[in-house]
Amino acid sequence: MVEDQLRARGIRNRLVLEAMAKVPRHEFVPIDQAAAAYEDRALPIGEWETISQPYIVALMTEAAEVRPGDRVLEVGTGFGYQAALLVALGAEVTTIERNASLAERARQNLGRTGYQGRVEVITGDGTDGYAAAAPYDAILVTAGAPRVPQALVDQLADGGRLVIPIGSREMQQLHLLVKHGAELSDTVLEACQFVPLVGKQGWPQAPWPRFFG
């Protein structure tokens, strides 16, 4: 996975590659998806959500420039894989998941694999962020938003990085925003497809029959 899907496609950050090699991805997918865990595609995890393909996970993590000791917010916990990678990079992680059953499954997965100690899993509306642990050095949003939620911008530290897919329900562009005082720089990384970001500052609740990410 690391050599063929990540390094070969331009992921260069050594720490990200090492974390991707270390964290057992098969422990963060449903049992019936374990055989496909290391394929370069998104996999359904139930509740209309997915675990993103390894390349997109690596791209977002590299873009966020996570460093040891950083305080990081993840929006969209899923089964906990991205949170485990952030811990492997040395971050202090808060991750928020609107679906209570998925949040509990993430806690179990993180505990079983030894990553729970530096992760706080919150059940709630991720479009509001989590002000209690702000400011954050990096925020990663693992669902597609119609616009950048202002709450997430407000919770970024000065110099903080926000990686977020923005666009329609069906197609987005992955953006890297960096906060400089009252200003935000914005770099478009590449096209992507994620499940919709549902919440007060995202999309309204509705079922979606397709799987992205």
CA dist list (Å): 135 to 130, 155, 169: 9, 5, 29
Do the beta carbons of residue 57 and residue 20 sit within 8 Å? yes
Residue in the block written with tokens 């987005």? 172
| Composition of the chain by helix, strand, coil, percent to 5 | 35, 30, 35
Selecting among 52, 101, 168, 185, the annotated active-site residue is: 52
168 a catalytic residue: no
Tokens of 81: 């894989």
DSSP assignment of 1-27 equals -IIIIIGGGT---HHHHHHHHHS-GGG
- Separation CA 111–CA 84 (nearest Å): 10
Q: How many CB atoms lie within 10 A of CB 207?
A: 5
Catalytic residues: 52
